[in-house]
Structure 1
Amino acid sequence: MHEVDGTGSGSGSGSGSGSGGVDPERLWLRSGRPRRGRPPAFSREQVTAAAVALADAEGLDAVTMRQVASRVGAGVMSLYSYVPDKETLLELMVDHVSAELPAGEPLTGDWRADLKAMAHAQRALMLRHTWLPAALTARRSPGPHTLAFLEHALVALRPTGLDGGARMEVFSLLTGFVSGHVAHEAAQAAVAHAPDRAAAEARYLAAVAAEGRHPELAKVLAAPSGPLDPDATFARLLDRMVDGLDAV
């Protein structure tokens, strides 16, 4: 799910200190179970699932350590024995939902078709978890589920003949395209549900077109257009992007 550059622990076991960010070795290569003290009342997986449910219901800003602790019925301080900080929690959340991606489905051998199928799966995932594009804006270390999907994409791109670095770039480009498009879809949906704002934007663009300083824009705005079909729009733009890749 991540854009990868070619994208149980005790307290402090998932995060670096200061501005170093999350330590991927400590986060992904060690157990999620607290190392000392009483047997844990919860698992790190349960904490992560609660955070994902909270983000799905109320948005990413609602995900605080206090709110997540309340969801799992834990004290805030005890939550830190599973997840040391919110940045680590976001890493866990992204990889948690990445398990929903089809990393093990058979490939067709047609790299364009396979890449498009992956993009559609990514979009469906991001539409289910609308907070995900925002979570992906920060660089994140790929967890096991993310790596499984990356591996799937790299295998799908083998027929292109591109070297490893170029295949990583294509995967990053694909994920960035899907993430940006879904974020745009969400913004458009928000406008559609605010009639006054939509009407104000239409009046503004009509006034700009009437000034005559943007003739090409005026032609576009004057052209008849039917109702928007988000699925068809995404498929059309995806076709343009993937079919335009130089795989020689």
Structure 2
Amino acid sequence: MAGGAAEPGVIWARPERTGRGPKPAFTRADIAAAAVRIADAEGLDAVSMRRVAGELGCGTMSLYNYVPRKEDLYELMVDMVSGEHELREPSEDWRADMARVAHQTRSLMHRHPWMTRLMSPVYGFSPNALRYLEHCLACLDPLEAPYGMKMQLIGMLNGCVTSYVATELANAERTRSLPWSAEQENAVRIAYLGSQVAGGAYPRLAAAFAEDPGPIDLDGAFELMLSRILDAFESRN
């Protein structure tokens, strides 16, 4: 807490507001929504207790009565965004259902780019996170595997999607910062790479590039990644 030693705990096990006084002016949902708005507009580094308090029109110290630590604020944000998953009734096709979930996660992270920095098992105990996990396990009911392996599948899928989106976002941000077009940048780099490969020092790379796979299809690469992961678990039955 502010001004004191940090204490371990889960915010969901605490009352909505600590301390005495009048009826709480805000809910956790209000606080999370304010923090998400800031992060969406300006990035995660712009989120602070002071900034969120200003967004809500209260004093910074008052906010600590609702959210003891900044880590708790992050957990509220992750929970709110996790609630955007559309948890449809499982179709009995576990591969299709998990691919659908992965696509939703990718879209969600593009809407909230800061989420890739907060994806962690530490924030996996929130109400919406638990509903998400239960939904994924329900989707995996047709897969004959122990729950431990199903949890591995979910974790691996989430980790790969998070890493994939983080790379997409980083590349997009880098492209936006260039004083020339992405096409110009790529042309220069491809020309340099071609000159290096043509020298004979990298025969395997030369053979690979000779196949001319063409421009990278990010959506196609994402589909291939999902397929490879799901194949690995299906083949263990």
TM band (smaller chain): 0.7 to 0.9
TM-score for the superposition, normalised by structure 2: 0.85
Note the C-alpha offset of 1:73.
1.3
Pairing partner for 2:134 from 128, 136, 151: 151
Note the C-alpha offset of 1:44.
1.9
Higher relative contact order (CA 8 A, sep 6+): 1
Which residue is 2:149 aligned to? 166
Which residue is 1:7 aligned to? none
Amino acid at match of 1:214: Y
2:79–2:129 contact (8 Å) kept in structure 1: yes
Is residue 2:16 matched to residue 1:32?
yes
1:52–1:93 contact (8 Å) kept in structure 2: yes
Note the C-alpha offset of 1:247.
4.0
Query: How many residue pairs were aligned?
Result: 230
Which residue is 2:201 aligned to? 213
Note the C-alpha offset of 1:191.
3.2
CA distance in 2, matches of 1:46, 1:204: 52
Q: Deviations over 1:201-223 (max 9, x none)?
A: 54654454345433333344455
Which residue is 1:236 aligned to? 224
Which residue is 1:50 aligned to? 34
2:175–2:181 contact (8 Å) kept in structure 1: no
Aligned pairs (5 A) from 1:124-203: 124-137=107-120, 139-193=122-176, 194=178, 195=180, 198-199=185-186, 201-202=189-190
Which residue is 2:78 aligned to? 94
Greater radius of gyration (CA): 2
For the structure 1 residues 141 and 113, does the alpha-carbon distance in structure 2 shift closer, same or farther, using more than 3 Å as the test?
closer
Aligned pairs (5 A) from 1:59-74: 59-74=43-58
Note the C-alpha offset of 1:69.
1.3
For the structure 1 residues 206 and 78, does the alpha-carbon distance in structure 2 shift closer, same or farther, using more than 3 Å as the test?
farther
Amino acid at match of 2:202: H
Aligned partner of residue 123 in structure 2, secondary structure:
coil
Aligned partner of residue 84 in structure 1, secondary structure:
coil
Q: Deviations over 1:190-243 (max 9, x none)?
A: 233324884565465445434543333334445535444433331232122212
Note the C-alpha offset of 1:185.
0.8
For the structure 1 residues 160 and 17, does the alpha-carbon distance in structure 2 shift closer, same or farther, using more than 3 Å as the test?
farther
1:133–1:182 contact (8 Å) kept in structure 2: yes
Q: CA RMSD in A?
A: 2.5
TM-score for the superposition, normalised by structure 1: 0.82
Q: Deviations over 1:144-197 (max 9, x none)?
A: 101001001111112111111111111101110110110011122123332488
Matched-pair identity in %: 41
Q: In terms of mean alpha carbon deviation, does 67-76 or 238-247 score higher?
A: 238-247
Aligned partner of residue 84 in structure 2, secondary structure:
coil
1:34–1:40 contact (8 Å) kept in structure 2: no
